[in-house]
Amino acid sequence: MSSSPPVSTATADAAAAGIGLSSRERYRGLTWLVSAAFFMQALDSTIVNTAVPAIAHALGETPLDMRSALTSYVLTLAILIPASPWLCDRYGTRRVFGAAISVFAIGSLLCGISQTLPELVLARVLQGCGGAALMPVGRYVLVRSIDKREFVQVMSTVATFGLLGSVLGPLLGGALVEYTNWRLIFLLNVPVGIVGLWLNQREMPEYRLDKANRFDLLGFLLFAAASALLLAASEFAADPTIRWMWMGSLVVLAILFGAAYVRHSRRTAHPVADLGLLRIRSVWVALSGNLLTRLGVSGMFLLIVLFLQVGCGWSPLMAGLMMVPQALGSISAKWLVNRMLIRLGYRRLLFGNTLLVALLLASFALLGPHTPMGLIALLVYVYGGFMGMQYTVMNTLIYTDLDVTHASMASSMASTTQYLSMSFGIALATILMQTLLHGQGAGAYVVAFRWTVVILAVITAVASRVFARLDKNVPV
């Protein structure tokens, strides 16, 4: 969104009705709406991971080949999120958020009736077109509406609902696959979307510009091309029939498009992603640290599901149940974030917590088919707790040194980085797994899983060095 102050068209009577109340109390309905959107996205992502083996079997594919159905959705989010600030400027937050919910629900419906992997991938892309606006618009409206002193607490509440979706997702995914049909996994989003549309009309404030800036179409296309080419290169890397020359050509083209965007963004008044914000230390540390951390951890949900179902012979429902402790651990940690931030500050908390996440990630290499279920659940719970703290602190860091006029752009850039790193993280995890997989037996999956999590742990540990570059006096 433009760096000039946006003009709010939120109704005056709503503001008058909230006199004497805190911003958190005045916008309680808005918090519920954004929480519902986060819940819907979290439910969708986790519920699909649990069902990957079953969907692969139904569509005649191998489980590792299903990564395109996962990465296509996440990459679509990353590519289209930069357009959300301009859309809000031009059409208003209420209209954009409502349209996003509608497209997401329609995409979910098409996913549920897909008959082949290409059809599923295309439906996931449409689903991503709707989901691209949910998180950045939700964050932006909360930043505009909630007092800065209450923002971390409100974001913790919103993130908690997202984690509740993560709790229900594995359970529903496993249960639906085992007792009904995997197609219901996607169809569940349709009634949730209908409720979201009703809440949007009631609770979403209308923030927009009276005159929106011209959309940076060239910058958008350059960024989209660079991102898509990089993911295509990662897809080819896992295909032994593709020559390395072709993959290298895609990487070179992606770099050229990326460099062209950097040059373009410096010459345009209103770029789709304002790289000038990277001059603020907390912003570039938040984005680069987020990128490296999620590159290491984003594929863990899928890896654990494959490890438990293929490597250990667990049922989909039991594998789904084992994902619940991770979400419960994340929810438990949310209540400690404020106190830990006040006591340690952003720099020390992120540096230490990232190293602990990497250590816990590496400890998954000690698991095997005969590991007691209780021990696996305990490790997943502890890992989820530290990851919950990591996500919450990383997601609020980018706003600490910014004023409200840059909030929308920062939200867009944060969400883009998050989903871009998630798509590459999932691709990296599956490529490592496929490269290290020698044979098709359960034992081969266990060995490949162990080496993969060790490599991902090393990548995650590198992110701690990025967070160490933070200023000691970053405001909490």
| CA atoms 244, 249, 250, 255: torsion sign | positive
Q: Is the pLDDT of residue 351 over 50?
A: yes
Q: In the chain, what are the domain boundaries?
A: 19-202+272-467, 216-271
Output the CA torsion 240→242→245→247 (10° steps). Answer: -90
CA angle 148, 339, 352 (to 5 degrees): 105
Position 69 scores a pLDDT of: 81
Q: What is the pLDDT confidence band of residue 284, given thresholds at 50, 70 and 90?
A: confident
Burial of 413 (0-12, 13-18, 19+ CB in 10 A): buried
pLDDT digits (tens, 9 = 90+) for 245-276: 777 788 889 899 989 988 988 888 778 777 87
Q: How far is CA 367 from CA 49, 261, 321, in A?
A: 20, 44, 17
Q: In the prediction, which pLDDT does 451 show? A: 93
User: How far is the C-alpha of 470 from the C-alpha of 472, rounded, in Å?
Assistant: 6
Q: What helix, strand, coil percent values describe the chain, rounded to 5?
A: 80, 0, 20
Higher pLDDT, 244 or 129: 129
Percent of the chain residues past pLDDT 90, beyond the cut: 12
The pLDDT of residue 7: 43
Q: List the single range of 51-55, 125-129, 147-151, 464-468 with lowest mean pLDDT.
A: 147-151
Both tokens of residue 208? 């927009």
Residues 6+ apart with CB under 8 A from 361: 296, 297, 300, 383, 453, 456, 457, 460
pLDDT for 241: 60
Domain 19-202+272-467 in CATH: superfamily?
A: MFS general substrate transporter like domains (1.20.1250.20)
Type of residue found at 272: V
Quickly list DSSP for 447-467: HHHHHHHHHHHHHHHHHHHHH
For residue 18, name the pLDDT band (cuts at 50, 70, 90): very low
Alpha helices, DSSP H, located in 1-27: 12-17, 23-26
- Helix, coil or strand: residue 213: coil
> Quick one: average pLDDT of 29-33?
80
Note the pLDDT tens digit of each residue in 173-199. Answer: 778 888 888 888 888 788 888 888 888
Q: At what angle are helices 442-467 and 281-297 packed, to 10 degrees?
A: 170
Instruction: Give the pLDDT of residue 404.
Output: 64
pTM to 2 decimal places: 0.73
SS3 208: strand
